[in-house]
Amino acid sequence: MKYTNMTLHTDKYQINMMYAHWLNGSDREKAVFEAYFRKLPFGNGFAVFAGLERFIHYVQHLKFDEEILQYLAAQEEGYDAGFLERLRTFRFTGRIWSMEEGAIVFANEPLVRVEANVFEAHLLETALLNFVNYQTLIATKAARIRLVAPDETLLEFGTRRAQEADAAVWGARASYIAGFDATSNLRAGMLFGIPTSGTHAHAWVQHHETELESFERFAKALPNQVTLLVDTYDTLRSGVPNAIKVAKRMEAAGNRMRAIRLDSGDLAYLSKQARRMLDEAGLDYVKIVASNDLDENIIMNLKAEGARIDSWGVGTQLITAADQPALGGVYKLVAREQNGKWEPVIKISANPEKVSTPGAKDVYRIVDRKSGRAKADYVALTGEEEVKAGEPIELFDPVHPYIHEMAEDYDAIPMLKPIFREGELIYELPDLDAMRELHRKQLGLFWPEHLRKLNPERYPVDLSVQAWQQKMDLIRKYKFK
């Protein structure tokens, strides 16, 4: 890579706003921004948060080096030399709170909160949204696939179709957090410690005189890792019978074939036939892997058809989030410091869903003590004490306020964790297996109605009365002044 410094991985307007703040002398005024999305992807009932590790690394390594400063100096904006000098010593000195990777998250709740001088807070927007929107999208897609295949092995095969190299490795990581078992991408394996797995391509078979010879040679080369691709010529007449011959020879030498792979045709029919043939040959331990443009809908259909598939290889549809290629996460200013005091700010819109919720906020997952299940997420202003003390709180839907109830016997789990304080990293990033475990445990908090793939029941994200009241007051102020 020619250039790995990510500091200019931002939209030019951030630098222009930083410049204008610097010229006006407002660059050290404090601001609070929150990142959230307004609509869940894929019609799903939840999303899986991911992207924090990359964001932390980015924040820690922000540096306007000589090459960057020279590039900025040459821009037609004509930035003042004093501004460039200010950038030379730039580092992030603020505070950040975030959801943890693997957490179950919802629309209209803060996922990341940045409290910093406005100069620093602006710079982070683009990269933060870029990382979190993509990784959260892929983790959510992976979670949908995991939910339809709870007991099978899931292999991430997407690199060749990913939107370039970063998407491949970070997408592999996001998939692993949300329940995939392995990736075919060795770089993702090496960078993040994700288990890796690989079979062979049709080219291996085509490169030999006969399919049987190709299978034998492959089995000889990798006796502990033999998965044979059986659909190059004729799956049931040639591929499976040849694989059986090789498996039997392996048995005689004290080895066991792992699996066969089906990559075309009717995967339900072929897997049932192949299973029967393998079982009849006494090879019930040889597993069946399937691939070929799979997604959660096809996998669910295949299972409903009684397909005998132990392991699913999923590429294109997962890594490109093919049915929804972007998550619309946004980063909005919610408060600013004025004469040493915090002042909430609002963005009004003709579209009610786009009216922002003013004030710095925390998110609590309200878990009913009787059922042990999550009832709602409760978004409260950062200073509010009732929910922290477990006092009765009113849960009401901010879009339909007539829908409300009191919560009394609950545990409130604070969802936003402190990540940076005065520019110092204070969060210990868990390893990937701990993130997977966190994800699995969080899923267990929800009723299945909120998790189902098709038309899930909407999980409530409620505003505290104070947050709601403050929003109403500001709407009135701007609408009627």
Ligand X SMILES: O=C(O)c1cccnc1
Q: What residues line the site for ligand X (CB under 6 A)?
A: 157, 184, 198-199, 261, 291, 313, 315
Q: Tell me the C-alpha distance between 26 and 20, whole Å.
A: 8
Residue 302 contacts which entry, ligand ATP, ligand X, ligand PRP, none (Cβ below 5-8 A, type-dependent): ligand ATP
Virtual CA dihedral for 31, 35, 38, 40, nearest 10 degrees? -170
Q: Strand, coil or helix: what is 287? A: strand
Q: Is the dihedral of CA 396, 402, 408, 409 positive or negative?
A: negative
Rounded to the nearest whole angstrom, what is the least distance from the CB of residue 35 to ligand PRP in the complex?
Answer: 30
**Residue 80 engages ligand ATP in binding (rule: CB under 6 A):** no
Residue 267 contacts which entry, ligand PRP, ligand X, ligand ATP, none (Cβ below 5-8 A, type-dependent): ligand ATP
Q: Strand, coil or helix: what is 70? A: helix
Nearest alpha carbon to residue 278 among 269, 267, 290, 287: 287
DSSP state, residue 254:
T
- C-alpha distances (whole Å) from 117 to each of 34, 96, 114 are 14, 12, 10
**Residue 18 engages ligand ATP in binding (rule: CB under 6 A):** no
What region, left, alpha or beta, does residue 163 occupy, with left being phi > 0 and alpha being psi -120 to 50 degrees? beta
Rounded to the nearest whole angstrom, what is the least distance from the CB of residue 311 to ligand PRP in the complex?
Answer: 13
Virtual CA dihedral for 86, 87, 89, 91, nearest 10 degrees? 120
Element housing 229 (H / E): strand 227-229
**Residue 294 engages ligand ATP in binding (rule: CB under 6 A):** yes
Nearest alpha carbon to residue 360 among 127, 135, 130, 121: 121
Residue 265 contacts which entry, ligand ATP, ligand PRP, ligand X, none (Cβ below 5-8 A, type-dependent): ligand ATP
Residue 321 contacts which entry, ligand ATP, ligand X, ligand PRP, none (Cβ below 5-8 A, type-dependent): none
Which region among 108-116, 208-216, 277-285, 290-298 touches ligand ATP (by CB under 6 A)?
A: 290-298
Residue 198 contacts which entry, ligand ATP, ligand X, ligand PRP, none (Cβ below 5-8 A, type-dependent): ligand X
Distance separating the N- and C-terminal Cα atoms of the chain? 54
Q: Give whichever of 292 and 382 is closer to ligand PRP, judged by the CB atom.
A: 292
Site string for ligand ATP, 260-289 (x = CB under 6 A): ----xxxxx---------------------
Rounded to the nearest whole angstrom, what is the least distance from the CB of residue 307 to ligand ATP in the complex?
Answer: 7
Q: How many CA atoms lie within 13 A of 441 on its CB side?
A: 8
Residue 314 contacts which entry, ligand ATP, ligand PRP, ligand X, none (Cβ below 5-8 A, type-dependent): ligand PRP
Q: Give whichever of 137 and 298 is closer to ligand ATP, judged by the CB atom.
A: 298
Q: Strand, coil or helix: what is 163? A: coil
Virtual CA dihedral for 171, 177, 181, 183, nearest 10 degrees? 20
Exposed, middle or buried, 264 (CB in 10 Å: 0-12/13-18/19+)? Answer: middle
Q: Which amino acid is at 5?
A: N
Q: Which residue is nearest to ligand ATP (CB)?
A: 264
Which region among 167-175, 294-302, 388-396, 445-453 touches ligand ATP (by CB under 6 A)?
A: 294-302
Q: Give whichever of 75 and 301 is closer to ligand ATP, judged by the CB atom.
A: 301
Q: Give whichever of 315 and 460 is closer to ligand ATP, judged by the CB atom.
A: 315
Rounded to the nearest whole angstrom, what is the least distance from the CB of residue 283 to ligand ATP in the complex?
Answer: 23
Q: Give whichever of 160 and 458 is closer to ligand X, judged by the CB atom.
A: 160
* Residue 235, φ and ψ in degrees, nearest 5: -55, -50
Rounded to the nearest whole angstrom, what is the least distance from the CB of residue 246 to ligand X in the complex?
Answer: 17
Rounded to the nearest whole angstrom, what is the least distance from the CB of residue 231 to ligand ATP in the complex?
Answer: 8
Residues that bind ligand PRP (CB under 6 A): 157, 160-161, 263, 291-294, 313-317
Rounded to the nearest whole angstrom, what is the least distance from the CB of residue 255 to ligand PRP in the complex?
Answer: 25
The answer to whether 343 and 336 have CB atoms below 8 angstroms apart is: yes
Q: Give whichever of 57 and 160 is closer to ligand ATP, judged by the CB atom.
A: 160
Which region among 4-12, 29-37, 296-304, 403-411 touches ligand ATP (by CB under 6 A)?
A: 296-304
Binding site for ligand ATP (CB under 6 A): 264-268, 292-294, 298, 301-302, 305
